Amino acid sequence: MTTALVGLGMTAMSLTPGATPLGLACDAAAAALADAGIAHADVDGLLVGSSQGVRPDRLGVAFAAQGGFSDLRLLEHVEIKGATTIAMIQRAVLAIESGAARTVMCVFADAPLVAGKGAGSTYALSGGQSGARGLERASGVLGSVPTYALLAHRWMHVSGGRPDDLRAVATTTRSWALGNPDAVVRTPLDDEGYLASPMISDPLRRLDCARPVNGAVAVIVSDDPQVGAQPRLVVRGTGRCHPVRHRRAGAESWFGGGRRAVDDACGQAGMSRADLDVAQLYDPFSVVTLMLLEEYGLTDGARAGDFVRAGETGPGGKLPTNTGGGQLSGFYLQGMTPLAEAMLQLRGQGGARQVPDAATALVGGIGGRADHHAAMILERAA
């Protein structure tokens, strides 16, 4: 593959209500165009992603007109929950390599923080009110926190993990966030501070949960060697897996599928896991980092908790992971969070958190309740 990521635009990540997804998307798109050194007219493909759920302000294909684009050869709204970002990049690459487009912008924007409401209220009713979800609502299972608490208990049961593993993830990602000026939480965090965090849904504490923000990220994908002033980040491989779980007795309800997605990405890239310099994983909850480290086969056979506690995912470790603070301490903007950080690292723009000589990155995304897995390998062009 010669198609590369050639532009990156990010808004400020805000914990203050007021912005709209449309306004944020326009700002991120403009920043990405400036970063790549091109104009709206140079973009012939536009892929738009938005947070799940039917919301009046949800970003859609109307953004093409609202954002100043025209004469597009490709225009789509993509939605596979947390796997959307990698799916958009994969779609852009396929379109470019088939000749259906030349330069494609992928944009995601969200503004879940609304005056007078908690961020959780925006997501609490995602998935609808009917069927199994309706039964969950009637039982008080609102939003993702109690669901992922169940996943955390299951993960500890099948893997031998323990609550201390969650703490290690939270404190490690916070150590990375200290060097990220875009992170919304940048105060030091030790074990005592973690344990002082209130329990939300056992075993998940508040600090085990991502920090939603109002923000947007836009990325430009192109095979045009004249586009983009920054180092080109070549998309070496992608992989996806959708297990389509039915969550019935007799089958594993949470795990499986992620390894195949990474295997496919590595195979397409002609690389092994040992070739990866950094990993940027989707981490809406601390347990997901642990789950994905093991499921993706990134720990050299070690238990994920031991791997994290040994410092292997932190600064100077074997596999620096979620180097911007991830979604726990950085910001939660679905799959754009890990992608943006991967791009900054491979461009050498990580500042105080920069991983020395980082040239290859694994970007991972999950959707729903680990129902969708997507993986991508990027490499900085020589």
User: Per residue in 241-297, pLDDT tens?
Assistant: 999 887 777 778 889 999 999 999 999 999 999 999 999 999 999 999 999 999 999
The model's confidence at residue 325, banded by pLDDT at 50, 70 and 90, is very high
Look up residue 18 and give its two tokens: 């007021």
**Does residue 109 lie in a domain region?**
yes
The model's confidence at residue 123, banded by pLDDT at 50, 70 and 90, is low
Among residues 174, 195, 222, the one where a domain terminates is: 222
284 DSSP 8-state letter: S
Residue with tokens 């030091």: 188
Q: What is the mean pLDDT of residues 69-90?
A: 97
Q: What is the mean pLDDT of residues 69-97?
A: 97
Domain that holds residue 335: 144-208+232-382
**Does residue 242 lie in a domain region?**
yes
Same domain, 101 and 194: no
Answer yes or no: is pLDDT of 54 > 60: no
Q: What is the pLDDT of residue 280?
A: 98
Same domain, 199 and 216: no
**Does residue 313 lie in a domain region?**
yes
| pLDDT mean across residues, the chain | 93
Same domain, 311 and 170: yes
Same domain, 216 and 251: no
Among residues 169, 198, 222, the one where a domain terminates is: 222
Same domain, 104 and 182: no
* CA torsion angle 359 48 210 187 (round to 10): 60
Instruction: Give the pLDDT confidence of 124-157 residue by residue, as tens digits.
Output: 656 666 666 666 666 666 678 999 999 999 999 9
Among residues 178, 195, 222, the one where a domain terminates is: 222
Cα first-last separation, the chain = 14
Same domain, 153 and 292: yes
**Does residue 27 lie in a domain region?**
yes
CA-based angle 189:193:197, to the nearest 5?
Answer: 115
Give residue 35's identity as a one-letter amino acid code: D
Q: What is the mean pLDDT of residues 79-94?
A: 97
* CA torsion angle 161 164 166 167 (round to 10): -170
**Does residue 132 lie in a domain region?**
no
Instruction: Give the pLDDT confidence of 200-226 residue by residue, as tens digits.
Output: 999 999 999 999 999 999 999 999 998
**Which of 76-80, 122-126, 321-325 has the lowest average pLDDT?**
122-126
Same domain, 298 and 156: yes
Distance between CA atoms of residues 24 and 125, nearest Å: 24
What is the pairing mode between strands 215-222 and 4-10? Answer: antiparallel
The enclosing domain of 43 has a CATH number of 3.40.47.10
Same domain, 169 and 62: no
The residue among 98, 39, 24, 104 whose CA lies nearest residue 72 is 104
